[in-house]
Structure 1
Amino acid sequence: MVGKYDLVIVNGRIIDGSGNPWYKANIGIQDGKISVITKSKINGEIEIDASGLVITPGFIDIHSHSDMGLRNLIYNKATYRVMQGITTEAVGNCGSSAYGWTKKYAEKYEERLKKFGLEYKINWTRLSEWKKKVEERGYAINIAPFVGFGTIRTSVLGEEGEGGERSDIDERELNEMKKLLREAMEDGAFGMTAGLEYDVQRNAYTEELIEMCRVVAEYHGLFMAHIRSEDEMLIEAVKEFIRICREAGVSGSISHHKACHPNSWGKPYETIRLIREARMSGIDVICDQYPWLKVAVLNVGEFFRTEGEEEISSKEREKILEYMKDDEKWRKMKEEAIKRNQMEEEYIEKKKRELAKRGTPFRMPWNPTTYFVIAHSKTHPEYVDKNFTEVAKLMGVEDPWEAMRKLYIMDNGETTVAEGYMREEDVIEIMKAPFTAISTDGGTEDEPKALHPRNYGTYPQFLGYYVRERKVVELEEAIRKITSLPARFLNLKDRGLLREGYWADIVIFDEREIANLATYEKPCTYPKGIKYVIVNGEIVVENGKHTGKLPGKVLKYTR
């Protein structure tokens, strides 16, 4: 025991992340690590009095998109993340990573960023090079990088229409994909992720994924996937994921597990049973979820394109509003949107039949007028959770696209929709399972741009609403789900628990006060109740304010 520690935390109740009941003790931190946990009096250069507060390990988010759009490099304070207690995040999710690509893919990615007003020179291809960039700039929290299957597959085959639409690939192409994957694993990737409802990735047969995951297994790595379907073929998609893990010999996590369409409601009772049975048979499969009833939120303008635009940006929304107010421009823009949607539906039906021949499931079409539901309308809040076909009936108009137009104009271009919505009974059923971790499916920025409240308040939503108010699980079990459970899955041997010798990633909060304040109307609102967040022994949040410190590390997978 040293005479004076760098930092001490005294008088608090420790919930150590193991699931054990809380106990009272003091924590001494030295050189970024927990040096001592003791009931004896200790002194430090800095002392935090945690009287009346709970001390826990830092929260670990295994499903983050903070690398998307190079946000780790641009918004390095990770404000959205650390203010809700996150000290470690896994990136590269849903098959999309900011590395593990070819030079040609990197050039295309750079051009795409320019359309969104981001000028950034991408002069790397490998994870090791990206890691160096992040470390040079500094980052507020720790990062566990995964490599994306979609990034790799698109790098080798091209986008859909350029080769990425193919399901049958040759041995040379598969070997090129494996080469990129091996490079990432050699550079310290934790494993591979996939987004099997998305372009290019959705076209891969199950056998292709098994082959790729066998490479991951060579490094004792992990596989995380946004599965093939979260609606009508949810059960088949879970079975496919378990099959991949079993045949490839990898540990896996089903990302943001949910039933997000009425035709899948009630199915989590079966999917949780399937995961439990897989675990009993020796397959290391878990899942994560976010504690919300709506899926990703987007502006209605994203259904449309103005002349010459292939992708929507925030600046384009003003143009779309202008086009909607002009009858002729609206007619052309609507016709183009309907045509694009019809082409997508035809493609999905074709691929569904093709992949079904080999037992690979496929998602249903995401029709803008029937699949998406209103997340926020400032002029008509009564339309929330209704699709545009239902809104059209309430408005007394025949065409749901016209209902969309009317509402968007009334809301001055601020109408948002969700890609599906869940039943709370299903959310709770998944949450209660001992193998379910809590994740955000969000990302990092330092500016208020989010559309979904999960970006600001996932962990306070879980701890405040589902734990304190709904009493779905005890607080100690809740803390395990957001600390040692994800740490165990990620094979982090010195994080996720409050133990002597572990890195000092710590959250101090008031369990009576902690609450999410973000809503779909005002998603960019910080939570309350989190007093301190410590990353690698450095105070990053102090009395609810970001200190500006950047002590995070890019972690390397340990086998």
Structure 2
Amino acid sequence: MIRTLLAALLLTSSAAAQDYDLVIRNAKILDGAGNPWVRGDVAVKGDRIAKLGVVAGKGAREIDARGRFVSPGFIDMMDQSGGVLRKNGAAENKLRMGVTTVIAGEGGIPVDADQANDYFAQLETQGIAVNFGSYYSAAQARVKVMGDAAGTPNAVQMEQMKREVETAMRAGTFGISTALIYPPNSFQTTEDLIELAKIVSRCDGFYSTHMRDESSKLVEAVNEAIAIGEKGGVKVEIFHLKAAYAPQFGKLMPKAVAAIDAARKRGVDVAADLYPYTAGGTGLSIVIPNWVFEKGAKEGVELLQDPAVRARVKREVAAGSQPGWSNLVEASGGWSRIVLANPFNEKYERFRGKNIAEIAKALGKDPIDAAIDITVEALPNRAMALFFMMDERDIATALRQSWTSIGSDAAASLGAGQTDVLGLPHPRSYGTFPRVLAEYVKKRGVLTLEDAVRKMTSWPASRMGLEGRGVLREGLYADLVMFDLDKIDDRASWTNPTASPVGIDLVVVNGAVTIEDGNATTARGGKVLRHACKS
């Protein structure tokens, strides 16, 4: 009896001594709102920040952050993990970058609109290590109603598409997304999208877009996005803002910025995200004009076997961009600046990392023939390429805008050190967020540390309406990242794109420690974030 009583007293004493689940001491605290850092402690209890400043109580776990910064967890505004999180919720490559929240859905959700609730519930039940929210793709509604061919929806079809969008919004998606550079997305007109945006406006949602052109017609594409938002009554998010046009490096981005600034001054809620790299990555099929796929993907592949079609494609690629198609060969400055990243075919594996001009010479083919053959022979997979079509001057201009945030345009990987689930070995999958700090704060001085952190925390949280996130305040969610600014380095490169960053020592998601001493834990503290539709 005495022994039992003593044990109970010791347990009670121990519990009383541990006032918090976690205390991070001696940190340089960056609140995420852009304020200068202050030295102090951060205490966590459950999934919330319990105390900031001088923390007298004890934590079940205590970490000394001396010399390191603690900020809100980073928010990835342009994620591609909607499908992979059902297979593996770890998202380790995201966490290692300090990312605690991802907003996905350029291509929508991996289920129909009427299954969105079940999809979100599945993620919650299985467990995910990051907070996750998503858009619904306007093209999903279109393909369900009309298929993947070109054409204008009739009144009945448009009403069906609107119902799909409304169903997705009521399930908690943040709005509609488009990727207007790719078929069948490219077959959607401005007017069609305004009509769908009006449905989104009932829920105060977003029109978020990979624009119709990010190259020579960049400004026109920005204006189209703004018009859809203005006439549809929705907020506009421009995905991965870039001036991807080699002939006008340094000239187009200031014009795009001016167009966005002008729209904001007249009351349009428009902003953008970007990733800090000079190359984009996408399917090699983008070098093929969109008209080839007007009757659908299957027939387009068959058309490409026709020598007459190939001849026309060659002429149009040489001529530059055409109405309804952005020519990324021209935008990149030629075939030598397009690198094969993943052929999805053993036959072409020896050419991985080589540019298309080199590959074509080795095969004794015209570059467009080589690109088409690699594309077709990768099916049903998507042969991937890197397009070196951006300039550091334009990246710096975009980063300096108060309304830009950071989005990786990358998915979580199925396992540590693996290429992300898109099959695209681009360093943005592993390096985006630490690169902002290492390259554009420390090395280039484009951003102050405080503003860089604001762009990755409070600004995107405020923009997306993520209540309780993005800043360090008592009572808010404990999404935290601890990093050593002196040591932080993205490390992922074009030749080693899956290298993990260094200098990020601790990541906490809703109070759960997910990265500790730079190593991943098995914690699954993430939550599904649903956009509230109150109408």
TM-score tier by shorter-chain length is 0.7 to 0.9
Which one-letter code corresponds to 2:178 in the other structure?
A
Q: Which of 317, 322, 326 is equivalent to 1:363?
A: 326
Q: Check if 1:272 corresponds to 2:246.
A: no
* Separation in structure 2 between the aligned mates of residue 341 and residue 14 of structure 1, nearest angstrom: 59
Q: Which of 33, 36, 39 is equivalent to 1:21?
A: 36
What does residue 479 of structure 1 align with?
Answer: 453
Deviation at 1:336, TM superposition (A): 3.6
CA contact (8 A) 2:43 2:55 kept: no
CA contact (8 A) 1:374 1:416 kept: no
Q: Check if 1:97 corresponds to 2:65.
A: no
* Pair 1:534–1:524, CA change in 2 (3 A): same
Which one-letter code corresponds to 2:419 in the other structure?
K
Q: Deviations over 1:58-107 (max 9, x none)?
A: 0001100101xx211012111111111110001111x4321335xxxxxx
CA contact (8 A) 1:438 1:482 kept: yes
Q: Check if 1:285 corresponds to 2:304.
A: no
SS in 2 for 1:296: strand
* Pair 1:338–1:289, CA change in 2 (3 A): farther
SS in 1 for 2:79: coil
What does residue 208 of structure 2 align with?
Answer: 224
Deviation at 1:388, TM superposition (A): 3.9
Q: Deviations over 1:410-433 (max 9, x none)?
A: xxxxx9731342011111111111
CA contact (8 A) 2:20 2:59 kept: yes
SS in 1 for 2:489: coil
* Separation in structure 1 between the aligned mates of residue 209 and residue 17 of structure 2, nearest angstrom: 45
What does residue 120 of structure 1 align with?
Answer: none
Matched length:
483
SS in 2 for 1:215: helix
SS in 2 for 1:269: helix
Q: Check if 1:139 corresponds to 2:102.
A: no
Which one-letter code corresponds to 1:527 in the other structure?
P
CA contact (8 A) 2:340 2:356 kept: no
SS in 2 for 1:87: strand
Which one-letter code corresponds to 2:525 in the other structure?
P
What does residue 337 of structure 2 align with?
Answer: 373
What does residue 445 of structure 1 align with?
Answer: 413
* Separation in structure 2 between the aligned mates of residue 453 and residue 192 of structure 1, nearest angstrom: 27
What is the RMSD of the two structures over their aligned residues, measured on CA atoms? 3.6
* Separation in structure 1 between the aligned mates of residue 59 and residue 468 of structure 2, nearest angstrom: 23
What does residue 4 of structure 1 align with?
Answer: 19
* Separation in structure 1 between the aligned mates of residue 17 and residue 133 of structure 2, nearest angstrom: 32
What does residue 431 of structure 1 align with?
Answer: 399
Q: Deviations over 1:509-538 (max 9, x none)?
A: 001111111112111110000000000000
Deviation at 1:335, TM superposition (A): 7.7
Q: Calculate the TM-score normalised by the size of structure 2.
A: 0.82
* Separation in structure 2 between the aligned mates of residue 446 and residue 80 of structure 1, nearest angstrom: 9
Q: Which of 188, 194, 198 is equivalent to 1:210?
A: 194
* Pair 1:128–1:48, CA change in 2 (3 A): same
Which one-letter code corresponds to 1:425 in the other structure?
R
Which one-letter code corresponds to 1:449 in the other structure?
T
Which one-letter code corresponds to 1:136 in the other structure?
T
Deviation at 1:345, TM superposition (A): 7.8
Which one-letter code corresponds to 2:502 in the other structure?
K
Q: Check if 1:87 corresponds to 2:100.
A: yes
Alignment of 1:308-347 (within 5 A): 336=305
Q: Which of 513, 523, 526 is equivalent to 1:539?
A: 513
Q: Deviations over 1:158-209 (max 9, x none)?
A: 112xxxx11x211111111111111111111111111111112211110111
* Separation in structure 2 between the aligned mates of residue 338 and residue 26 of structure 1, nearest angstrom: 69
* Separation in structure 2 between the aligned mates of residue 337 and residue 13 of structure 1, nearest angstrom: 64
* Pair 1:267–1:391, CA change in 2 (3 A): farther
Q: Check if 1:464 corresponds to 2:438.
A: yes
Deviation at 1:150, TM superposition (A): 1.4
Q: Deviations over 1:86-143 (max 9, x none)?
A: 10001111x4321335xxxxxxxxxxxxxxxxxxxxxxx4210101111121111000
* Separation in structure 2 between the aligned mates of residue 46 and residue 40 of structure 1, nearest angstrom: 13
* Pair 1:416–1:172, CA change in 2 (3 A): closer
Which one-letter code corresponds to 2:47 in the other structure?
G
Q: Calculate the TM-score normalised by the size of structure 1.
A: 0.79
Q: Check if 1:38 corresponds to 2:1.
A: no
* Separation in structure 2 between the aligned mates of residue 335 and residue 228 of structure 1, nearest angstrom: 23
Alignment of 1:258-269 (within 5 A): 258-265=242-249, 266-269=251-254
Deviation at 1:263, TM superposition (A): 3.9
What does residue 475 of structure 2 align with?
Answer: 501
CA contact (8 A) 1:373 1:417 kept: no
CA contact (8 A) 1:89 1:142 kept: yes
* Separation in structure 2 between the aligned mates of residue 505 and residue 523 of structure 1, nearest angstrom: 26
SS in 1 for 2:279: coil
* Separation in structure 1 between the aligned mates of residue 158 and residue 208 of structure 2, nearest angstrom: 20
Which one-letter code corresponds to 1:272 in the other structure?
V
Which one-letter code corresponds to 1:508 in the other structure?
M
SS in 2 for 1:193: strand
* Pair 1:375–1:156, CA change in 2 (3 A): same
* Pair 1:377–1:239, CA change in 2 (3 A): closer
* Separation in structure 2 between the aligned mates of residue 128 and residue 236 of structure 1, nearest angstrom: 36
* Pair 1:445–1:503, CA change in 2 (3 A): same
Q: Deviations over 1:414-454 (max 9, x none)?
A: x9731342011111111111101011000011331241010
CA contact (8 A) 2:339 2:387 kept: no
SS in 2 for 1:7: strand
CA contact (8 A) 2:17 2:58 kept: no
* Separation in structure 2 between the aligned mates of residue 45 and residue 523 of structure 1, nearest angstrom: 37
Moved more, 256-265 or 26-35: 256-265
Gap regions ≥5 residues in structure 2: 1-15, 289-296, 343-350, 376-382
Gap regions ≥5 residues in structure 1: 102-124, 304-309, 312-332, 409-414
Which one-letter code corresponds to 2:406 in the other structure?
I
What does residue 118 of structure 2 align with?
Answer: 129
* Separation in structure 2 between the aligned mates of residue 30 and residue 299 of structure 1, nearest angstrom: 48
SS in 2 for 1:126: helix
* Pair 1:556–1:132, CA change in 2 (3 A): same
SS in 2 for 1:479: helix
* Separation in structure 1 between the aligned mates of residue 256 and residue 352 of structure 2, nearest angstrom: 28
Q: Which of 457, 466, 486 is equivalent to 1:492?
A: 466
Moved more, 336-345 or 36-45: 336-345
* Pair 1:91–1:4, CA change in 2 (3 A): same
* Pair 1:512–1:296, CA change in 2 (3 A): same
* Pair 1:30–1:246, CA change in 2 (3 A): same
